[in-house]
Amino acid sequence: MITPFRSPRLRSVNRTVLLGLTGAGLFLASLDAYVVVTALLPMLKSVNIAVNRPEQATPIITGFLLGYLAIMPLAGGLSDRFGRLRLFAACLVLFAFGSFLTATAPSLAQLVTGRVLQGAGGGALVPAVLALAADLYPTGDRSPVLGAVSALQEIGSVLGPLWGGLITASAFGWTWIFWINIPAAALLLWALWPEVRAGGEERRPANLDWFGALLATAGLSLLTLALYAATPEESPVGEGIIWQLPLALLCFVLFVWHERRTPHPLINVRRFRDSSFTGSALTNAIAGAGLMVALVYIPVLANAVFSMNASSAALLLFRLMLGIPVGALLGGFLAQRLRSYRLVAALGLVLAATGFLLLSGWNEGSLTPHLLGSPLTVADAELLLTGFGLGLEIAPVSAALLDAVGDTERGAGASFLIVMRLVGMLVGFSLVAGFSLWEFHRVTAHLIPPLPGLNPNFATQYAIYVLKVKQAIFDEYHLIFRATAIALFVGALLAGLTLRPLPRPRWR
Amino acid sequence: MHAGVSPSRGLAAGLAIIISVSSCGAPTPDAATLLKQSSQRMLGLSGFHFQMQISGFTGTDEPVQSAQGDAHPPALHARVNLKEGAILLEVEVIFATGDIYLKSFTGGWQKLTPDEVAQFFDARTLFDPQVGLFAAMRDTTAAARGNAEKVNGHETYPIAGQVSAGRMHQLLTLIRDQGSYQATYWIESQGSDLWRARLTGNLFDAAKPATITFDFSNHDHPVSVTPPPLG
């Protein structure tokens, strides 16, 4: 929970500069949140992993999310105890070290370790910068500043895949996505160092729920392992699911038990009795899963079957990402205007689900037809619609959850929103990755490739084989997008049934 | 009267002799003997795990980048990374009872004809007792032992020597068969297990160098390779 407190020294320095520098660090980290989605294949190649073993890319994505989730709930309390700027500096160093490990990785293990550390460093920056902003600005002026910090993070996330794609396709190559973080982080630290060293920030003892955080992280790690299909030709989930899943559930049960008893819980679990709180939390997770599917699978589809390079794939995804901020702005406005969270949230999720259904009809010629003679293609419109829908639900779902927790727990509620979105991303992506690859292997189990040798018909047979493989890849993607659409329809239903209407304005 | 040797003095002398003999130890065999012993040892194992990595210039015709798997020479089961244009593809290979089986990007196992095998990677030769890597160890010339080195936590002697290009060509047919190449073997000082072998030279081009590195582990861990079900 973010609790502002007075810090005379911080107030005496130029707060715009201070917030600008820490905001730049947050932007740097948020760029890297989804940056790998357009660089996955070259990253795998550089650690000698073949393109037909994409399951090995899963931990590169889930590792970052896990690192982020592990540290984020504690970061607010840590910034209370050690100071916002000290925590910021430490996390920026951790983020830069994770970037170094990722850029120099000779093996998948180091690549994943680097991403976990990047996630942990980057995850803690969000509450640290938000809390710093709350310290620097008084109550009346705080709201637009907090909004600007959150927007900075969202913009970074949206631009990340494009940034990654452009660097990967350039002569520099994918490692420069991460190399560039090191001088940038060093420059920020250098600029902030006098303030960090002066230690003028107010600090106070904070009750950190280490045990709760440990249980939650252990549960999520075990769940991720249980869902990770390391050999998708044999199983859509992990080999150890039989013991990992029950153990994960036990960790979650213990977490709830502990949170009910501890005086300073990470999350007030009693709130789950409120259907509006639970509904908005679950809806948020489902929307996170939908966003993650789009983020990962659109660039890979562009690369695998439309033969696009990393920058073209990033530009294709960017059409969807553009729709998100537009939808987000309109969602807030509409919810206020119509005085209904449930209607706007459900509408957004239905639009996103419809977008995914349209994407599930893509084939080799889907990127060319133009929309009613306009410069936009039909595919552009479908991607924009999907992103727009995913954006539209953000404001009403977030507002419904924050209304449900009330003024006193608003900070914790805001963190919980991010946590639930990331949990949705983590679980949704893990499930989709395993089941889709398992389905691909099932469909192609008897599709034996022709071999050159003395085969006089090799060229023809090979061309037919390539066509069949492409069709199987399309079928796999159709399944992924349809499953995502169904999940989003369920989310729409959930939002429609559970979210409470807006509270009446107090002046009435 | 002749004074007898006291029991305590006898015991001390005996201990001193035992300690001095054991500290000298058996003399370390020469490089050629170590190579022969290690070759014999590796061919006699009931199984081991291996990793093969090709680096440097491999040309356009050499698709193999790396391989890893388990072997009970000459039988083996490996996952092989092949270079296909700008991408890497993984295939699975089994060599059992004299035949080679392949599992590719899609589909099940298929049995390859010798002609098809020659197209990409002849796994039959890799650990063949007559022409494979362990046979090449025996035929290494000008072998010299270096100072002890640790490889994967094991005390080894590096033995460096020369292998004729013709011999290497038998190992991988795309290797040029002119001149000779540098070979280094890391052999455990106790027991003759081979932990690493490195072959270096202008393997795939007259002017550009390349290196093939083999790493071994799980020595004598039983490996049984049988023909897979087809289709």
Most B CBs within 10 Å, among A51, A231, A469, A476, to test the B interface? A51
The more confident residue out of A290 and A451 is: A290
**Å between A316 CA and nearest CA of chain B:** 22
**Å between A439 CA and nearest CA of chain B:** 12
**Å between A471 CA and nearest CA of chain B:** 13
Q: Could you say which residues from 97 to 126 on chain B have a Cβ atom under 8 Å away from some Cβ of chain A? A: 102, 104-108, 110, 112-113, 115-116, 119
CB within 8 Å: B81 and A447: no
In this complex, the residue of B81, B110, B112 whose CB is nearest that of residue A48 is B81
Q: Is some CB atom of chain A closer than 8 A to the CB atom of B89?
A: yes
Most B CBs within 10 Å, among A448, A461, A473, to test the B interface? A448
Q: Is the pLDDT of residue A110 over 50?
A: yes
Residues contacting residue B187 through CB under 8 Å, at least 6 positions apart: B34, B35, B37, B38, B156, B157, B159, B193, B194, B195
Question: A with B: how many residue pairs have Cβ under 8 Å apart?
Answer: 59
Report how far apart, in Å, the C-alpha atoms of A436 and of each of A430, A474, A484, B59 are.
10, 11, 12, 36
User: Which DSSP state fits B81?
Assistant: E
Report the alpha-carbon distance of residue B77 to residue B96 in Å, rounded: 8
Chain A residues near residue B87 by CB distance under 8 angstroms: 41, 45, 50-51
Q: Is some CB atom of chain B closer than 8 A to the CB atom of A451?
A: yes
Report the alpha-carbon distance of residue B231 to residue A479 in Å, rounded: 25
In this structure, the strands spanning B149-151 and B141-145 are unpaired
Tokens of B202: 């202008």
Report the alpha-carbon distance of residue A161 to residue A30 in Å, rounded: 11
**Res. A200 pLDDT band, cuts 50 70 90:** low
Chain B residues near residue A473 by CB distance under 8 angstroms: none
Report whether A119 contacts A64 (CB < 8 A): yes
User: So what's the pLDDT on residue B24?
Assistant: 47
Q: Give me the interface pTM, i.e. the ipTM.
A: 0.72
Report whether B55 contacts B209 (CB < 8 A): no
CB within 8 Å: B88 and A51: yes
**Res. A375 pLDDT band, cuts 50 70 90:** confident
CB within 8 Å: A51 and B65: no
For residue A455, give the chain B residue with the closest CA.
B116
Report whether A219 contacts A248 (CB < 8 A): yes
Cβ neighbourhood burial of A500 (10 Å; 0-12, 13-18, 19+): middle
Phi, psi angles (nearest 5°) of residue B93: -130, 135
Report how far apart, in Å, the C-alpha atoms of A192 and of each of A185, A418, B35 are.
11, 27, 61
The closest of B94, B42, B101 to B73, measured between CA atoms, is B42
CB within 8 Å: A453 and B113: yes
Low-confidence ranges of chain B (pLDDT < 50): 1-5, 20-25
Checking B155-159 for CB contacts under 8 A at 24+ apart, the result is B155/B188, B155/B189, B155/B190, B156/B186, B156/B187, B156/B188, B156/B189, B156/B195, B156/B196, B157/B28, B157/B34, B157/B186, B157/B187, B157/B189, B158/B184, B158/B185, B158/B186, B159/B31, B159/B34, B159/B35, B159/B184, B159/B185, B159/B186, B159/B187
Chain B residues near residue A233 by CB distance under 8 angstroms: none
For residue A454, give the chain B residue with the closest CA.
B115
Neighbours of A428 (CB within 10 A): 23
Most A CBs within 10 Å, among B51, B55, B61, B106, to test the A interface? B106
pLDDT in tens, A429-486: 999 999 999 999 999 988 888 877 667 788 888 889 888 988 899 999 999 999 999 9
CB within 8 Å: B108 and A472: no
User: So what's the pLDDT on residue A155?
Assistant: 83
Q: Is some CB atom of chain B closer than 8 A to the CB atom of A467?
A: no
The closest of A1, A73, A424 to A255, measured between CA atoms, is A73
**Å between A40 CA and nearest CA of chain B:** 13
CB within 8 Å: A449 and B113: no
CB within 8 Å: B115 and A469: no
In chain A, the largest separation of any two C-alpha atoms, in whole Å, equals 86
Q: Is the pLDDT of residue A506 over 60?
A: no
User: So what's the pLDDT on residue A146?
Assistant: 77
The closest of A320, A295, A299 to A310, measured between CA atoms, is A299
For residue A451, give the chain B residue with the closest CA.
B116
Work out the mean pLDDT of chain A and round it to a whole number.
87
Q: Write down the domain spans for chain B.
A: 29-217
CB within 8 Å: A472 and B119: no
CB within 8 Å: A53 and B105: no
pLDDT in tens, A128-185: 888 888 788 776 667 777 778 877 887 888 889 999 999 998 999 999 999 999 999 9
In this complex, the residue of B66, B88, B108 whose CB is nearest that of residue A446 is B108
Residues contacting residue B218 through CB under 8 Å, at least 6 positions apart: B47, B48, B49, B70
Q: Is some CB atom of chain B closer than 8 A to the CB atom of A449?
A: yes
Q: Is the pLDDT of residue A268 over 90?
A: no
For residue A46, give the chain B residue with the closest CA.
B88
User: So what's the pLDDT on residue A403?
Assistant: 85
**Å between B101 CA and nearest CA of chain A:** 12
In this complex, the residue of A44, A49, A447 whose CB is nearest that of residue B107 is A447
pLDDT in tens, B6-45: 556 655 655 555 554 444 445 677 888 999 999 999 999 9
Q: Is the pLDDT of residue A364 over 70?
A: yes
Chain B residues near residue A53 by CB distance under 8 angstroms: 90
Neighbours of A454 (CB within 10 A): 9
User: So what's the pLDDT on residue B52?
Assistant: 92
User: Which DSSP state fits B80?
Assistant: E
Q: Is some CB atom of chain A closer than 8 A to the CB atom of B81?
A: yes
CB within 8 Å: A52 and B89: yes
User: So what's the pLDDT on residue A240?
Assistant: 92
| Side-chain half-sphere exposure of A26, counting CA atoms within 13 A | 28
Report the alpha-carbon distance of residue A434 to residue A59 in Å, rounded: 12
User: So what's the pLDDT on residue A420?
Assistant: 92
In this complex, the residue of B81, B88, B106 whose CB is nearest that of residue A444 is B106
- For the domain B29-217, what is the CATH code? 2.50.20.20
Residues contacting residue A32 through CB under 8 Å, at least 6 positions apart: A64, A95, A99, A118, A122, A160, A177, A178, A181
User: So what's the pLDDT on residue B119?
Assistant: 67
User: So what's the pLDDT on residue B18?
Assistant: 52
**Å between A57 CA and nearest CA of chain B:** 14
